[in-house]
Structure 1
Amino acid sequence: MALPSPDIPWWRSGTVYQVYPRSFQDSDGDGVGDLAGIERRLDHIVALGVDAIWLSPIFPSPMADFGYDVADYCGVEPMFGDLAAFDRLLAAAHARGLKLLLDFVPNHSSDRHPWFVASRASRTNPKRDWYIWRDAAAGGGPPNNWISDFGGSAWEWDAATGQYYLHAFLKSQPDLNWRNPDLKRAMFDAMRFWFDRGVDGFRIDVLWHIVKADGFPDNPVNPAWHPGITERDRLIQQHSTDQPEAHAIAAEMRALADEYGGRLLIGEIFLPNDRHARWYGTPERAQVHLPFNFQLIENAWDAATLRATIAAYEASLPPHGWPNWVIGSHDAPRIAARIGEAQARVAAMLLLTLRGTPTLYQGDELGIGQVDIPPERVRDPQELRQPGIGIGRDRSRTPMPWDDSAFAGFSTVEPWLPLNADWRTRNVAAQDGDPSSMLTLYRRLLALRRARPALGLGDIALVEADRDVLAYERRYGGERLLVALNLSDEPRAMPFAGEVLLSTLAGRDDGLRPNEGVVLSPSPRP
C-alpha cells in the first residue's frame, strides 16, 4: 500500500465536523449550548474519528440571526462563555489531535456593532463608508430592486441621515463595504486576532456576497420564479453577488492564511460549477482551499442524478482544486428527514468514500430525522418572515441528544428548541454500543477512510452499474477499492467481485440488498 506524502495538507484526507454551539451541550443550565459544553463532549468527536471541528459563530451578537449578526469580531458571546473558555476549548481540542475552525462572517455585521453605530451617526462620520449607504432613487424609494435573502427590499431607510443602507439579510445585518480600505484592514486584523490565538482556519460565511457591482444596477428578473420558492429568487443575483473584486479579496485572505502555515479556508459559495470553481483561484494566486460544495443537498437522490452530479463537479475542478462534499448543515433539512433513515446510511457511505474532504453535521451520525417545530417555538427569522414554504432552519438546529435522562443530557432545563421526538431511544448513549446503529456505521466508515489512502486521497472513476446503483473505484498508488451504493428499496446486481470490507447493513449477500452500500477490496484479476 502506498503511504501518503507527509507534505500533503491534513485537510485533504481529513474530515470536518460542524458543531452548532447553541445545540451541542449546555453546561450552565440556561437551555443553550456553550463552549464549556463543547469541551465536555470532545471525546465523542474524537471517538467518531474526524479531524477538525467547525464552530458556527461564537462572537458577541444580539442573536437576531443566531450569531450571524456579529457585534464584535474579536470576542466571545457571553451566552457561550468568554475568551478564556475559548482558549480552554482550543487547547483541549489540540491536545486530542483535533483542529478547530471558526465561522467568519465578512459580508455583514450586526447593526449594534460599534462600527455601524458610528456609521449611522452622521453622513460625515469617519466610519460612514464602512457600510453601504445610498440616496433614494430619483422618484423616491430604494436605490434599486435588490431583494434581501430573507425577503423584502435589501435596503433600509435611515430617517436620521436621510439615506438607505444595504442589507443582504435582515435589516439588523447591514452589509460591510469591502471597497473601503480601512474596513478591509479591520476585518483582516480580526482574522489575525484568531490566527494568533491558534485557530486552524475559518469557514467564511456567504463569501460570494462580499462585493457588489459598481453603480448598483437592478438585478434581472428570474423568469423561472414561482411562489413556492423564496422571494429572493424573484431576481437573479447578477450584480449583488460574485463580483470580480470579491475574488481578489479571497486571494488576500488566502495569502494571510498561508502566512500562518497550515491554516484552512473554506468558503461558503452557492454557484453553478463553472463559477464555483473560480473560487479556487490559480496556483499563482490561490483563493480558498475549499469552496463549499452543496450539491448532495440540492439535487434529487437517485443514481442517475448523483452520477451526473459527481461527474460534472469533478470535471469542473481546476487541476489544483481539491473537491469537498456535504450532506447536511445548520441551514439544510436533515439528510434522514429528506431521504429516510435507510438511505441516510447509504448517504453516509457516499459522503465518506467520495474523493474530497467531507463535512459532517452534528446529529447526522445519529440519523436524526424530521423534527416538527410547533409554531409557537419557531425561532428562525427566515421562516418567521416567509412562512409556509418550508425553508425553516430550526428543524436542523435542534439539541444534540446524549442519553435518555431529562432533556436528553443536553441541559438541566427545557432547551431553546425542541428535541427530536425519539430522543429517548435515538441518542449517543443508546447507539454507542449497538453494532447496527448509525453511530457505529459512521465510526466504522471514518476508521476505514483513515486507514485506506485510496479513500482519503485517491482518484475516483465512476463505473457503469445496474439501474439505481451508483458505483465507483478509488485508487491510490497500488491500492484499489470499490464502492457500490443501492439507492433503491429493491435488490440489485453487485457490479464488482471482491471482499466486502464494510457494508451499511449487517450480514452479507451475493448481491446488493435494498438500501445497501458496500466498500469492497477487488478480487485478484485472473
Structure 2
Amino acid sequence: MSPAPWWKTCVAYQIYPRSFCDSNGDGVGDLRGIISKLDYLERLGIGMVWLCPVYASPNDDNGYDISDYEAIQPEFGTLEDWIALRDGLHARGIRLVMDLVANHSSDEHAWFVESRTAKDSGKRDWYIWRPPAADGGPPNDWQSVFGGPAWEFDGATGEYYLHLFSKKQPDLNWESTAFRTELFAMMRRWVALGIDGFRMDVINLISKPDGLGAGGNEGGMDRALNGPRMRDYLAEMRREVFAGTDLVTIGETPGMRLELAREITDERAPMLDMQFHFEHVDLDHAPGASKWDSTPMTMPALRATLSRWQEGMEPHGWNSLYLGNHDQPRAVSRYGDDGRYRRESATLLMTLLLTLKGTPFIYQGDEIGMANVAFDAITDYRDIETLNAWRWLTGERGLDAATALTMIRTKSRDNARTPMQWSAAPNAGFSSAKPWIAPNPDYTAHNVAAAEAAPDSVLHYTRRLIALRQRTPALHGGQYGLLDAEHPTLWLFERADATQRCLIALNFSDGRLPVPSAVASLPLRLGNYPPGDPATLRPWEARILAAPSHRSAP
C-alpha cells in the first residue's frame, strides 16, 4: 500500500499575517515577525502553515482584494522576506501553503484597470460586465455578501460589473480562456518558487449561472454557488498546475453539500484534495435570518453535523477540519465556555479537532485559548463586513446601538483578528507600536508566555495532543465511529484502523457526567484533567482512551 499523502498526516496552522507578529514597530504584523516565531511553530508540532494573503493589496478586505498576485504587500515585507520564511519553514519540516483568491481581484489590479477602459478592451471579458436593465438599474437584484447590491455602475463605459463581495472586489470571469491561461501561469510561477500548495478562497463561486443578468435571478451569492462549469474549471486547474506534483489543494466551499464535496475530493480523480465546508459554523445562525441573528449553538447539532461529514466522506473523500479561522468567532467563545471553564473547554475543543478524521487546522491563538473580544464601541472595529453590518443594523433594521453592538460582538470577524497574545507586555507583545486593531484586554492573563510557564495550559496540552496524534496512526488514518448519537452532553466516538482503536469521550457541559463502565475501565492515553474517578467526567473533561482493536481476539 502506498504511504498516505503528507497532507493527510500533518497538523496545519493558519496564520493571519496582519495580526501574528510585528517585527518593525509599525503596528502591523509582517513576514519577519512570522520568521521570528518559527521555533514556536516547530515546538507545537505543526507540519503545514496556511498563510493568509500577503500579496499587494489596497486592503479594502485586509488582503483578500489583490492588486498584484506576484508582489508582496510592502507592509508585510519583500519577496526576499517571503523566501526567508519559505526556507525557514522548510528547514523545520513545515510545508507552506499560500492563499489563492481567484474568484475576484482588487479593482486596482492592472487587469481590471484595463478591463474598465472600454467595452472592446482586451481584458473586458476577464471580468463580468452587463448593461443596465430596462429601467436603467442593475442587471438583477443580487446582493453582495458584505451588504448592498452586487452590481456597481461604471460611468466610463455605462455598464455594471459584478462584485459578490466589496465593490472594490470585482468578480473575475472564468469563462474567459485568456484569463484562465494567465491565472494558471501565475500559479505555476508560485509553484516554481517552492510553495507546497494553495488554499483557494470561495473557489466554488467561480462558475456563474447561465443567463446572468437576464432577470429572475433573486438572491446573491447563494445563486452563484457550485455553478455549472465549476467541475470543469477545477479539473482544468488540476491538469494545468498540479499534475505530477505532491502539492495540496484546499478549497473554501461555502454552501457545498456533502455529496458534491465527496465527489470533488475523490482521491481516485480529485479536483481538490480537501475542502472547508460551512455547515457547522452556520449552526448558530437563526433560520431565515442574517448571520448576525444568532441562535444557541448546541452540542447535539454540532455532533450530528460533523459526524455526518465524517461518515459521508468515506471511503474516498477527505475532510479539512476547523473550529475557527480568520472569518469566524473564536472557538472557545462559540462552542465552549470562555468564562469559568475556559482552559477546560478550550482543551476539549482541541481534543475534538485533533481526533476527528481529516487534516486539522489550528487557527492562530486557539492553542492558548484566545477568546472573543467585546470592544466598547463600533469605532474599535476594522472589518469591512462588520462596519457594513453596523450601518445596516442601526439603519435599515432600526436597532438601537446597544443591541447592534451585542450582535457585532458575537459574530464579528474581528474576534479572530485581534493581535496574537504573546505576552503581558504592552500590546500583548505583538508590537512595540499601537497595533492596527486593539488587542483583547484579557491578554495580560492569557498569552503565550503565561502558557509556557503553566504545565497544565492549553498550549502544553495542545503540544501533547499533537504528539499523540502523530504517533497514533488510528488518529490520522482510522475510521470514525459515533458510539452514542442521543446523549445531550456526552460525545463518544472511536477512531480505529486495522491494528489500533482509540475511544474519545467529551463532556460538553459544566456538570459532572457518569460514563459507561466499559468506557471507564479503558486505559487513559491523554486527558485534559489530572487523573480522577474514571467513572465520572468532570466539567468539559476530554479523554482519549486505548481500546481493544476490533480485530483482537476475544
TM-score normalized with structure 1 length: 0.93
Q: What do residues 34-75 of structure 1 show as CA deviations (whole Å, max 9, x unaligned)?
A: 011101101111111121000110000000000000001111
- Which of the numbers 444, 467, 475 marks the counterpart of 1:455? 475
Structure 2 counterpart of 1:254: 238
Moved more, 483-492 or 100-109: 483-492
Structure 1 counterpart of 2:362: 360
1:295, distance to aligned residue in structure 2 (A): 3.8
1:475, distance to aligned residue in structure 2 (A): 1.0
Q: What do residues 116-139 of structure 1 show as CA deviations (whole Å, max 9, x unaligned)?
A: 110111111101111111000012
1:240, distance to aligned residue in structure 2 (A): 2.0
**Residues 350, 171 of structure 1: CA spacing in aligned structure 2 closer, same or farther, 3 A cutoff?**
same
1:460, distance to aligned residue in structure 2 (A): 1.2
1:219, distance to aligned residue in structure 2 (A): 6.3
Q: Distance in 1 between matches of 2:216 and 2:511?
A: 47
- Which of the numbers 502, 506, 509 marks the counterpart of 2:533? 509
Which letter does structure 1 place at the counterpart of 2:96? L
- Which of the numbers 185, 188, 194 marks the counterpart of 2:181? 185
Does the CA contact (< 8 Å) of 1:277 and 1:318 recur in 2? no
Q: Residue 39 of structure 2: SS of its match in structure 1?
A: helix
**Residues 377, 78 of structure 1: CA spacing in aligned structure 2 closer, same or farther, 3 A cutoff?**
same
- Which of the numbers 367, 371, 374 marks the counterpart of 1:372? 374
When the two chains are superposed, the root-mean-square deviation of aligned CA atoms in Å is 1.9
Q: Residue 310 of structure 2: SS of its match in structure 1?
A: helix
1:281, distance to aligned residue in structure 2 (A): 5.2
1:137-216 to structure 2, matched below 5 A, reads 137-216=133-212
**Residues 407, 422 of structure 1: CA spacing in aligned structure 2 closer, same or farther, 3 A cutoff?**
same
1:386 aligns with 2:389: yes
1:477, distance to aligned residue in structure 2 (A): 2.2
Q: Distance in 1 between matches of 2:80 and 2:355?
A: 38
Structure 2 counterpart of 1:289: 273
1:40-59 to structure 2, matched below 5 A, reads 40-59=36-55
1:424, distance to aligned residue in structure 2 (A): 1.7
Which stretches in structure 2 are left out of the alignment for 5+ residues? 285-296, 391-403
Q: What do residues 463-498 of structure 1 show as CA deviations (whole Å, max 9, x unaligned)?
A: 127541111111122111110001111111223131
1:31-430 to structure 2, matched below 5 A, reads 31-216=27-212, 217-218=214-215, 235=219, 237-274=221-258, 276-277=260-261, 280=264, 282=266, 285-299=269-283, 301-317=297-313, 319-338=315-334, 339-340=336-337, 341=342, 342-373=344-375, 374-387=377-390, 388=404, 389-390=407-408, 391-430=411-450
Does the CA contact (< 8 Å) of 1:53 and 1:100 recur in 2? yes
1:26 aligns with 2:47: no
**Residues 489, 447 of structure 1: CA spacing in aligned structure 2 closer, same or farther, 3 A cutoff?**
same
1:505, distance to aligned residue in structure 2 (A): 1.8
Q: What do residues 263-288 of structure 1 show as CA deviations (whole Å, max 9, x unaligned)?
A: 00110011253354256255554211
Does the CA contact (< 8 Å) of 1:355 and 1:459 recur in 2? yes
Q: Distance in 2 between matches of 1:482 and 1:435?
A: 25
- Which of the numbers 471, 488, 510 marks the counterpart of 2:492? 471
Which letter does structure 1 place at the counterpart of 2:380? R
**Residues 83, 237 of structure 1: CA spacing in aligned structure 2 closer, same or farther, 3 A cutoff?**
closer
**Residues 306, 285 of structure 1: CA spacing in aligned structure 2 closer, same or farther, 3 A cutoff?**
same
Q: What do residues 358-404 of structure 1 show as CA deviations (whole Å, max 9, x unaligned)?
A: 11100011111121233222211111111134342112101111122
Structure 1 counterpart of 2:287: none
Structure 2 counterpart of 1:480: 501
Which letter does structure 2 place at the counterpart of 1:356? G
Q: Residue 242 of structure 2: SS of its match in structure 1?
A: helix
Q: What do residues 161-210 of structure 1 show as CA deviations (whole Å, max 9, x unaligned)?
A: 11001101111111111100111111111111111100000100011111
1:518 aligns with 2:543: yes
Does the CA contact (< 8 Å) of 1:146 and 1:218 recur in 2? no
**Residues 318, 249 of structure 1: CA spacing in aligned structure 2 closer, same or farther, 3 A cutoff?**
farther
Moved more, 35-44 or 276-285: 276-285
Does the CA contact (< 8 Å) of 1:498 and 1:520 recur in 2? yes
Moved more, 299-308 or 171-180: 299-308
Moved more, 464-473 or 163-172: 464-473
Moved more, 155-164 or 315-324: 315-324
Which letter does structure 1 place at the counterpart of 2:359? T
Which letter does structure 2 place at the counterpart of 1:311? S
Does the CA contact (< 8 Å) of 1:273 and 1:316 recur in 2? no
Which letter does structure 2 place at the counterpart of 1:456? H
Total equivalences in the alignment? 509
Q: Residue 66 of structure 2: SS of its match in structure 1?
A: coil
Q: Distance in 2 between matches of 1:297 and 1:375?
A: 24
Which letter does structure 1 place at the counterpart of 2:282? E
1:520, distance to aligned residue in structure 2 (A): 0.6
Q: Residue 529 of structure 2: SS of its match in structure 1?
A: coil
**Residues 384, 238 of structure 1: CA spacing in aligned structure 2 closer, same or farther, 3 A cutoff?**
closer
Moved more, 5-14 or 30-39: 5-14
1:143, distance to aligned residue in structure 2 (A): 0.3
Q: Distance in 2 between matches of 1:425 and 1:219?
A: 54
Q: Distance in 1 between matches of 2:438 and 2:159?
A: 41
Q: Distance in 1 between matches of 2:156 and 2:257?
A: 44
Q: Residue 17 of structure 1: SS of its match in structure 2?
A: strand
Q: Distance in 1 between matches of 2:265 and 2:510?
A: 42
Q: Residue 537 of structure 2: SS of its match in structure 1?
A: coil
Structure 2 counterpart of 1:228: none
1:406, distance to aligned residue in structure 2 (A): 2.4
Q: Residue 523 of structure 2: SS of its match in structure 1?
A: strand
Does the CA contact (< 8 Å) of 1:294 and 1:325 recur in 2? no
- Which of the numbers 4, 16, 19 marks the counterpart of 1:8? 4
Q: Distance in 1 between matches of 2:540 and 2:55?
A: 42
Q: Distance in 2 between matches of 1:307 and 1:279?
A: 23
- Which of the numbers 461, 464, 475 marks the counterpart of 1:444? 464
1:293, distance to aligned residue in structure 2 (A): 2.9
Does the CA contact (< 8 Å) of 1:296 and 1:326 recur in 2? no
Structure 1 counterpart of 2:292: none
Which letter does structure 1 place at the counterpart of 2:360? P
Q: Residue 75 of structure 1: SS of its match in structure 2?
A: strand
